[in-house]
Structure 1
Amino acid sequence: MVNKGMIDEFEINYGIKVPNQYKDFLQVNDGFSFDGGRTLYSLNDLKEMNDNLQIQKYQPDYIAIGDDGGGLVFLMRQETNAEVVFLVDLSDYDIGTAYKRICNFNDWFNKGCNIDTEKEEGNSQLSKIGSVYLTEKPVNGIRDLVRIKQIFNLNITASQFLKISRTLPCEVLTNIKYAKAIKLIEKTGQPEIFEFRK
């Protein structure tokens, strides 16, 4: 079993602060797997998973404590009294557009770390899934379309995109979270030519 001394040694060796609530969890469970692929990392897995996920590179103030086995990573702030768990997208780790914010790790664990049935805490709109449509022609024509293709990481050629964009509105992204869609749309500098539809 994991004890306090082992966790203290882990923190000193790796320069990672483990929140008290997760320390307490580790001393009782040392990791946990739920049906459906959700996992909370053991002390042995913490360093390896945080390295593999490059958490210290992209969110140095946070520690990954688990994941859903799909596209979400569970982050907690590296603070002694941290209680909040952020469920963030594996592709960007953006706390500001987290899929969900769980107020208290202990309560969440005791309820089985449910993701979709957990009460939304002000992020219901941000986590809605839908599609992004191009509704107007971009200002600079093909040049802007090439830029949009890059920003949206579209897996089509520029000429295919040009052809599709001749019939507006045209769907350019599907099955995307609202928060992420808005971020990408804003990056184009022309948010007025797009529309998010559920």
Structure 2
Amino acid sequence: MNRDAIEQIDFIEQKLDIKFPDLYKKFLVEEIQDSLSYEIIDKDGFDIYLYSYMDILERNETNQIQPFEPDYFLIGQDGDIGYFVYVKKGSEKDTIYSLDLGALGSLDMEEAADNIYDLRTNQM
């Protein structure tokens, strides 16, 4: 296990009073690890860039996610489309959601996959 990743994830959860879904945390620690760049191909053939534990907080702050969607956390992007996990403490879900970043707060999130592992095709 990547101790730095676990400590950063715990720090973000405490700082924002959120809880990441267990499958996402596992994927972040075991698959993405400390990669500077991590891309997957979704079931529709689109490339999705997933953020590492070192980048997720900064990307959420830069894109001003929490003021518009406080219960969601941005985990990756495909152009203007953001990919999110639901992080409300006690209600966190493994489901991955997507939404155009320009529509934050005005449109409902769309379900993109049941979990982070189902978001990608079998490419490994």
Output the TM-score relative to the length of structure 1: 0.48
Provide structure 1 residue ranges, at least 5 long, that are not aligned to the other structure: 113-198
Tell me by how many angstroms 1:41 deviates: 0.8
CA distance in structure 2 between the partners assigned to 1:51 and 1:89 by the alignment: 16
Aligned counterpart for 1:72 among listed residues 81, 105, 114: 81
Q: Secondary structure at the match of 2:108?
A: helix
What's the % identity of the aligned pairs? Answer: 27
Instruction: Give yes or no for the alignment of 1:107 onto 2:121.
Output: no
Question: Partner residue of 1:33?
Answer: 39
Provide structure 2 residue ranges, at least 5 long, that are not aligned to the other structure: none
Aligned pair count reads 110
Q: Which AA in structure 2 matches 1:102?
A: A
The answer to whether the Cα contact below 8 Å between 2:96 and 2:112 also exists between their aligned partners in 1 is: yes
1:97-142 CA distances to partner (integer Å, 9 max, x unpaired)?
63x5322222223546xxxxxxxxxxxxxxxxxxxxxxxxxxxxxx
Question: Partner residue of 1:164?
Answer: none
Q: Secondary structure at the match of 2:102?
A: coil
CA distance in structure 2 between the partners assigned to 1:47 and 1:73 by the alignment: 14
Question: Residues 110 and 50 (structure 1 numbering): CA distance in 2 closer, same or farther, change over 3 Å?
Answer: same
Question: Partner residue of 1:44?
Answer: 54
Tell me by how many angstroms 1:33 deviates: 2.1
Instruction: Give yes or no for the alignment of 1:96 onto 2:102.
Output: no
Tell me by how many angstroms 1:51 deviates: 0.6
The answer to whether the Cα contact below 8 Å between 1:72 and 1:87 also exists between their aligned partners in 2 is: yes
Question: Residues 95 and 74 (structure 1 numbering): CA distance in 2 closer, same or farther, change over 3 Å?
Answer: farther
What's the RMSD between the two structures over aligned residues? 2.5
The answer to whether the Cα contact below 8 Å between 1:16 and 1:63 also exists between their aligned partners in 2 is: no
Instruction: Give yes or no for the alignment of 1:54 onto 2:64.
Output: yes
Q: Which has the larger radius of gyration?
A: 1
